[in-house]
Structure 1
Amino acid sequence: MVEGFHFSHKLKVRYSEIDGQKIVFNAHYLTYLDIAVSEYFQEGLKLELMELAEEGKFDFVVAKTTLEYKSSARLNDWLNIWCRTSKIGNSSMTMEFQITREGETDPLLIAEIIYVSYNPLTHVKQPVPTFVRERIEQFER
Protein backbone atom coordinates (compact mmCIF):
# COMPACT_ATOMS: atom_id res chain seq x y z
CA MET A 1 0.00 0.00 0.00
CA VAL A 2 1.17 3.49 -0.80
CA GLU A 3 0.64 5.97 2.02
CA GLY A 4 -2.18 8.43 1.44
CA PHE A 5 -3.79 6.46 -1.38
CA HIS A 6 -7.08 4.58 -0.86
CA PHE A 7 -7.44 3.19 -4.36
CA SER A 8 -5.32 1.22 -6.80
CA HIS A 9 -5.89 -0.77 -9.95
CA LYS A 10 -3.71 -3.72 -10.90
CA LEU A 11 -2.63 -4.63 -14.42
CA LYS A 12 -0.02 -6.73 -16.18
CA VAL A 13 2.42 -5.34 -18.75
CA ARG A 14 1.73 -6.92 -22.14
CA TYR A 15 4.14 -7.58 -25.00
CA SER A 16 2.55 -4.90 -27.21
CA GLU A 17 3.41 -2.25 -24.59
CA ILE A 18 7.18 -2.71 -24.58
CA ASP A 19 9.62 -1.09 -26.96
CA GLY A 20 12.96 -2.05 -28.50
CA GLN A 21 14.65 -1.58 -25.12
CA LYS A 22 12.28 -4.19 -23.66
CA ILE A 23 10.70 -1.68 -21.28
CA VAL A 24 7.25 -0.12 -21.31
CA PHE A 25 7.11 2.57 -24.00
CA ASN A 26 6.56 5.92 -22.28
CA ALA A 27 3.19 6.74 -23.88
CA HIS A 28 1.61 3.58 -22.46
CA TYR A 29 1.86 5.02 -18.96
CA LEU A 30 -0.81 7.55 -19.92
CA THR A 31 -3.06 4.66 -20.91
CA TYR A 32 -2.39 3.00 -17.56
CA LEU A 33 -3.38 6.21 -15.75
CA ASP A 34 -6.51 6.55 -17.87
CA ILE A 35 -7.56 2.98 -17.04
CA ALA A 36 -6.96 3.60 -13.34
CA VAL A 37 -8.95 6.84 -13.23
CA SER A 38 -11.95 5.23 -14.87
CA GLU A 39 -11.76 2.37 -12.34
CA TYR A 40 -11.40 4.94 -9.53
CA PHE A 41 -14.71 6.48 -10.53
CA GLN A 42 -16.47 3.16 -11.15
CA GLU A 43 -15.09 0.91 -8.40
CA GLY A 44 -13.99 3.46 -5.82
CA LEU A 45 -16.62 6.17 -6.12
CA LYS A 46 -19.39 3.89 -7.48
CA LEU A 47 -20.19 6.32 -10.30
CA GLU A 48 -21.04 5.12 -13.81
CA LEU A 49 -19.21 7.59 -16.05
CA MET A 50 -20.87 6.50 -19.30
CA GLU A 51 -24.36 6.90 -17.85
CA LEU A 52 -23.53 10.28 -16.32
CA ALA A 53 -22.13 11.49 -19.65
CA GLU A 54 -25.09 10.19 -21.66
CA GLU A 55 -27.47 11.92 -19.23
CA GLY A 56 -25.50 15.17 -19.54
CA LYS A 57 -24.73 15.26 -15.82
CA PHE A 58 -20.95 14.89 -15.70
CA ASP A 59 -17.87 14.12 -17.72
CA PHE A 60 -14.30 15.38 -17.60
CA VAL A 61 -11.44 16.14 -19.94
CA VAL A 62 -7.69 16.40 -19.43
CA ALA A 63 -6.33 19.93 -19.07
CA LYS A 64 -2.75 19.23 -17.95
CA THR A 65 -0.59 16.17 -17.39
CA THR A 66 2.75 15.96 -15.59
CA LEU A 67 4.71 12.70 -15.61
CA GLU A 68 7.89 11.96 -13.71
CA TYR A 69 9.57 8.71 -14.75
CA LYS A 70 11.57 7.07 -11.96
CA SER A 71 12.21 3.54 -13.26
CA SER A 72 10.99 1.22 -16.00
CA ALA A 73 8.35 -1.45 -16.04
CA ARG A 74 9.05 -4.59 -18.04
CA LEU A 75 7.15 -7.36 -19.79
CA ASN A 76 4.92 -9.40 -17.43
CA ASP A 77 5.40 -7.02 -14.48
CA TRP A 78 2.27 -6.68 -12.38
CA LEU A 79 1.71 -2.99 -11.71
CA ASN A 80 -0.41 -1.17 -9.15
CA ILE A 81 -1.67 2.18 -10.36
CA TRP A 82 -2.52 4.24 -7.29
CA CYS A 83 -4.74 7.29 -7.67
CA ARG A 84 -6.39 9.90 -5.51
CA THR A 85 -8.08 13.23 -5.89
CA SER A 86 -5.93 15.79 -4.11
CA LYS A 87 -7.88 18.96 -4.93
CA ILE A 88 -11.31 19.93 -6.22
CA GLY A 89 -11.69 23.44 -7.56
CA ASN A 90 -14.81 25.03 -8.98
CA SER A 91 -14.58 23.26 -12.34
CA SER A 92 -11.35 21.29 -12.03
CA MET A 93 -10.06 18.26 -10.17
CA THR A 94 -6.40 17.49 -9.54
CA MET A 95 -5.53 13.82 -9.32
CA GLU A 96 -2.24 12.31 -8.22
CA PHE A 97 -0.93 8.93 -9.31
CA GLN A 98 1.88 6.55 -8.48
CA ILE A 99 2.69 3.38 -10.35
CA THR A 100 4.50 0.68 -8.38
CA ARG A 101 5.59 -2.82 -9.26
CA GLU A 102 3.63 -5.50 -7.39
CA GLY A 103 5.17 -6.08 -3.96
CA GLU A 104 7.27 -2.90 -4.09
CA THR A 105 6.67 0.61 -2.74
CA ASP A 106 9.18 2.65 -4.75
CA PRO A 107 7.34 4.38 -7.58
CA LEU A 108 8.15 3.69 -11.22
CA LEU A 109 6.20 6.79 -12.15
CA ILE A 110 4.66 9.76 -10.34
CA ALA A 111 2.00 11.77 -12.14
CA GLU A 112 -0.43 14.61 -11.68
CA ILE A 113 -3.37 15.23 -13.98
CA ILE A 114 -5.72 18.18 -13.88
CA TYR A 115 -9.16 17.34 -15.24
CA VAL A 116 -11.88 19.85 -16.09
CA SER A 117 -15.53 19.07 -15.48
CA TYR A 118 -17.23 19.10 -18.84
CA ASN A 119 -20.84 19.08 -19.94
CA PRO A 120 -21.05 16.41 -22.65
CA LEU A 121 -24.21 17.92 -24.14
CA THR A 122 -23.11 21.56 -24.43
CA HIS A 123 -19.37 20.83 -24.83
CA VAL A 124 -18.31 23.50 -22.35
CA LYS A 125 -16.73 23.34 -18.92
CA GLN A 126 -19.03 23.33 -15.93
CA PRO A 127 -18.68 23.34 -12.15
CA VAL A 128 -17.92 19.95 -10.62
CA PRO A 129 -21.41 18.68 -9.71
CA THR A 130 -22.16 18.63 -5.99
CA PHE A 131 -22.86 14.88 -5.97
CA VAL A 132 -19.44 14.17 -7.53
CA ARG A 133 -17.66 16.54 -5.15
CA GLU A 134 -19.36 14.97 -2.12
CA ARG A 135 -18.61 11.41 -3.27
CA ILE A 136 -14.91 12.24 -3.77
CA GLU A 137 -14.62 14.06 -0.44
CA GLN A 138 -16.27 11.16 1.39
CA PHE A 139 -14.07 8.56 -0.35
CA GLU A 140 -10.80 10.44 0.20
CA ARG A 141 -11.25 10.99 3.96
Structure 2
Amino acid sequence: MTPFRLLLRVRYGECDAQQVVFNARYGDYVDVAVTEFYRALFGSYQALLEQGLDSQVVRMVTDWSAPARFDDVLQLEVSTLRLGSSSFALEVDIRRQADQAAIARAEVTYVMVDAQAFSKTAIPDTIRSQLERGAPGVIVDQAG
Protein backbone atom coordinates (compact mmCIF):
# COMPACT_ATOMS: atom_id res chain seq x y z
CA MET A 1 0.00 0.00 0.00
CA THR A 2 1.20 3.52 -0.73
CA PRO A 3 2.44 5.67 2.14
CA PHE A 4 0.83 8.95 3.23
CA ARG A 5 0.94 11.54 0.42
CA LEU A 6 0.55 15.29 0.28
CA LEU A 7 0.11 16.99 -3.09
CA LEU A 8 0.99 20.66 -3.38
CA ARG A 9 1.52 23.06 -6.24
CA VAL A 10 4.64 25.23 -6.46
CA ARG A 11 3.66 28.88 -6.27
CA TYR A 12 5.45 31.66 -8.13
CA GLY A 13 6.67 33.32 -4.93
CA GLU A 14 8.46 30.12 -3.86
CA CYS A 15 10.87 30.33 -6.78
CA ASP A 16 14.21 32.16 -6.86
CA ALA A 17 16.16 34.09 -9.49
CA GLN A 18 17.11 30.79 -11.20
CA GLN A 19 13.37 30.10 -11.65
CA VAL A 20 13.39 27.02 -9.44
CA VAL A 21 12.06 26.47 -5.92
CA PHE A 22 14.35 28.27 -3.48
CA ASN A 23 16.19 25.74 -1.30
CA ALA A 24 14.87 27.11 2.01
CA ARG A 25 11.26 26.50 0.86
CA TYR A 26 11.80 22.74 1.11
CA GLY A 27 11.81 23.09 4.90
CA ASP A 28 8.38 24.69 4.61
CA TYR A 29 7.16 21.88 2.35
CA VAL A 30 8.42 19.24 4.78
CA ASP A 31 6.74 21.01 7.70
CA VAL A 32 3.39 21.16 5.86
CA ALA A 33 3.69 17.46 4.93
CA VAL A 34 4.47 16.41 8.51
CA THR A 35 1.65 18.55 9.90
CA GLU A 36 -0.79 16.82 7.53
CA PHE A 37 0.76 13.43 8.44
CA TYR A 38 0.11 14.25 12.12
CA ARG A 39 -3.48 15.19 11.24
CA ALA A 40 -3.92 11.79 9.54
CA LEU A 41 -2.40 9.96 12.53
CA PHE A 42 -3.77 11.88 15.49
CA GLY A 43 -6.82 13.74 14.13
CA SER A 44 -5.02 17.08 14.44
CA TYR A 45 -1.87 18.61 15.83
CA GLN A 46 -4.04 20.01 18.63
CA ALA A 47 -5.01 16.44 19.59
CA LEU A 48 -1.34 15.73 20.30
CA LEU A 49 -1.09 18.88 22.45
CA GLU A 50 -4.23 17.88 24.33
CA GLN A 51 -2.41 14.71 25.39
CA GLY A 52 0.23 16.94 26.97
CA LEU A 53 2.71 16.14 24.20
CA ASP A 54 4.55 18.06 21.52
CA SER A 55 7.45 17.32 19.18
CA GLN A 56 10.43 19.45 18.27
CA VAL A 57 12.74 19.18 15.28
CA VAL A 58 16.29 18.41 16.34
CA ARG A 59 17.73 17.52 12.93
CA MET A 60 16.76 17.92 9.29
CA VAL A 61 18.83 16.87 6.30
CA THR A 62 17.74 17.40 2.71
CA ASP A 63 19.28 15.88 -0.40
CA TRP A 64 18.24 17.32 -3.77
CA SER A 65 18.08 15.38 -7.03
CA ALA A 66 16.40 17.80 -9.46
CA PRO A 67 14.80 21.23 -9.41
CA ALA A 68 11.09 21.90 -8.96
CA ARG A 69 9.61 24.81 -10.89
CA PHE A 70 6.64 27.14 -10.79
CA ASP A 71 3.31 25.32 -11.23
CA ASP A 72 4.78 21.81 -10.73
CA VAL A 73 2.61 19.61 -8.54
CA LEU A 74 4.81 17.96 -5.93
CA GLN A 75 4.02 14.68 -4.24
CA LEU A 76 5.44 14.39 -0.73
CA GLU A 77 5.39 10.91 0.79
CA VAL A 78 5.88 10.70 4.55
CA SER A 79 6.90 7.55 6.37
CA THR A 80 8.49 6.68 9.71
CA LEU A 81 12.14 5.67 9.49
CA ARG A 82 13.09 5.10 13.13
CA LEU A 83 11.55 5.11 16.57
CA GLY A 84 13.69 5.58 19.66
CA SER A 85 12.60 5.94 23.27
CA SER A 86 11.96 9.69 23.01
CA SER A 87 12.85 10.52 19.41
CA PHE A 88 11.68 9.48 15.98
CA ALA A 89 12.74 10.12 12.41
CA LEU A 90 10.48 10.67 9.43
CA GLU A 91 11.39 10.47 5.77
CA VAL A 92 9.79 12.87 3.30
CA ASP A 93 10.28 11.82 -0.32
CA ILE A 94 9.48 14.65 -2.75
CA ARG A 95 8.65 13.85 -6.38
CA ARG A 96 7.14 15.72 -9.28
CA GLN A 97 3.73 14.12 -9.58
CA ALA A 98 3.48 14.31 -13.39
CA ASP A 99 6.46 12.04 -14.11
CA GLN A 100 7.45 10.79 -10.62
CA ALA A 101 10.89 12.39 -11.04
CA ALA A 102 12.82 12.49 -7.77
CA ILE A 103 13.15 16.08 -6.58
CA ALA A 104 14.42 15.79 -2.99
CA ARG A 105 14.48 13.60 0.09
CA ALA A 106 14.44 14.93 3.63
CA GLU A 107 15.06 13.12 6.87
CA VAL A 108 13.69 14.87 9.95
CA THR A 109 14.36 13.82 13.53
CA TYR A 110 11.95 14.91 16.25
CA VAL A 111 12.11 14.59 20.01
CA MET A 112 8.89 14.08 21.96
CA VAL A 113 8.49 16.67 24.70
CA ASP A 114 6.11 17.46 27.52
CA ALA A 115 3.92 20.26 26.10
CA GLN A 116 4.11 22.30 29.33
CA ALA A 117 7.70 21.87 30.50
CA PHE A 118 9.22 21.33 27.02
CA SER A 119 11.37 18.60 28.53
CA LYS A 120 12.12 15.38 26.71
CA THR A 121 9.67 12.56 27.39
CA ALA A 122 9.19 8.98 26.27
CA ILE A 123 7.00 8.32 23.24
CA PRO A 124 3.77 6.80 24.63
CA ASP A 125 2.81 3.37 23.30
CA THR A 126 -0.30 4.73 21.54
CA ILE A 127 1.73 7.37 19.68
CA ARG A 128 4.44 4.81 18.92
CA SER A 129 1.93 2.43 17.34
CA GLN A 130 0.40 5.26 15.28
CA LEU A 131 3.84 6.27 14.00
CA GLU A 132 4.68 2.63 13.21
CA ARG A 133 1.43 2.17 11.29
CA GLY A 134 1.65 5.53 9.51
CA ALA A 135 -1.23 6.60 7.30
CA PRO A 136 -1.04 4.30 4.28
CA GLY A 137 -3.29 5.25 1.40
CA VAL A 138 -4.13 8.70 2.78
CA ILE A 139 -3.75 11.44 0.18
CA VAL A 140 -4.14 15.12 1.06
CA ASP A 141 -4.52 17.28 -2.06
CA GLN A 142 -3.53 20.92 -1.60
CA ALA A 143 -2.56 21.32 -5.27
CA GLY A 144 -5.84 22.96 -6.23
TM over 0.5: same fold?
yes
* 1:85–1:140 Cα contact (<8 Å) kept: no
Q: What does residue 13 of structure 2 align with?
A: 16
* 1:61–1:117 Cα contact (<8 Å) kept: yes
Q: 2:130 pairs with 129, 135, 141, which one? A: 135
Q: What stretches of structure 1 of length at least 5 have no aligned partner?
A: none
Q: What CA distance in whole angstroms lies between the structure 1 residues aligned with 2:86 and 2:23?
A: 29
Question: Partner amino acid for 2:85?
Answer: N
- SS of the aligned residue for 2:55 comes to strand
* 1:49–1:58 Cα contact (<8 Å) kept: no
Q: 1:90 pairs with 72, 80, 85, which one? A: 85
Instruction: Give the 3 Å change call, closer, same or farther, for CA 62–5 of structure 1 in structure 2.
Output: farther
* 2:79–2:134 Cα contact (<8 Å) kept: no
Where does 1:13-92 land on structure 2 (aligned, <5 Å)?
Answer: 13-43=10-40, 45-53=41-49, 55-92=50-87
TM-score by length of 2: 0.87
Give the deviation of 1:123 after TM superposition: 1.1
Q: What stretches of structure 2 of length at least 5 have no aligned partner?
A: 137-144
Instruction: Give the 3 Å change call, closer, same or farther, for CA 5–126 of structure 1 in structure 2.
Output: farther
Paired residues, number? 136
* 1:91–1:128 Cα contact (<8 Å) kept: yes
Q: What CA distance in whole angstroms lies between the structure 1 residues aligned with 2:21 and 2:3?
A: 25
Q: Which has the higher contact order (CA 8 A, sep 6+)?
A: 2
> Percentage identity across aligned positions?
31
TM-score by length of 1: 0.89
* 1:18–1:74 Cα contact (<8 Å) kept: yes
- Write out per-residue CA displacement over residues 61-90 of structure 1, whole angstroms, 9 at most, x where no aligned residue: 001111101111000000001110111100
- Write out per-residue CA displacement over residues 87-128 of structure 1, whole angstroms, 9 at most, x where no aligned residue: 110000111111100132331001111110011101111111
Question: Partner amino acid for 1:51?
Answer: A
Instruction: Give the 3 Å change call, closer, same or farther, for CA 140–78 of structure 1 in structure 2.
Output: closer
